[in-house]
Amino acid sequence: MLPLLNDEESLIERLETRVGQLAALLQSLNKRCVEMDKELHAALEERDAALSQAQAAQAENAKLIDDIAVMRAKQQDAATRVRGLLEQIDRLGLFESSQES
Q: Is pTM, for the whole model, over 0.95?
A: no
pLDDT in tens, 4-22: 567 788 888 999 999 999 9
Q: What is the DSSP string of 45-74?
A: HHHHHHHHHHHHHHHHHHHHHHHHHHHHHH
**Percentage of the chain with pLDDT > 90?**
75
* Mean pLDDT, rounded, of the chain: 91
**Domain boundaries defined on the chain:** 9-100
Alpha-carbon torsion, ordered 38, 41, 46, 50, to 10 deg? 170
